Amino acid sequence: MQDLLVVSLCAQWCGVCRDWRTAFAEVARRHGEGQFRWLDVEDESEVAGDLDVETFPTVLIARGGKVLFLGPILPQPALLERLLGSLAPESAEIADTQALLARIIESGPGQRIAQNLSAE
């Protein structure tokens, strides 16, 4: 993945983050491409800026300067691997999801959950 940047936003005082750091490093080694960075949001507050991270770990994934994902994840390497795979430009999952979206849009209005809930 060209220009891939994966950043784990954590804090040193967070026990989950300390455990996650090892797993995050393993994913970086297995992935082999792109940059994987660790950002302590308190020690590096000038970099984190006004971003208010409430749940650890929070992961930022970007490619070519464009943010693809920013949010908390469960601290599981397989989950990060799956997320990275789903965001890959050549990912079959993206193509499948785009096809699903096209079918949903083409099918017309259908039943909307909000309408169903308000009708009850």
Give the class (CATH, top level) of 4-88.
Answer: alpha beta
* Model pTM score: 0.71
Percent of the chain scoring above 70 in pLDDT: 72
Domain parsing of the chain, residue ranges: 4-88
Mean pLDDT across the chain: 80
The pLDDT of residue 44 is above 90: no
Q: Which spans in the chain are helix H?
A: 15-31, 45-48, 77-87, 92-106, 113-119
Q: What share of the chain is helix, strand, coil (3-state, %, to 5)?
A: 45, 20, 35
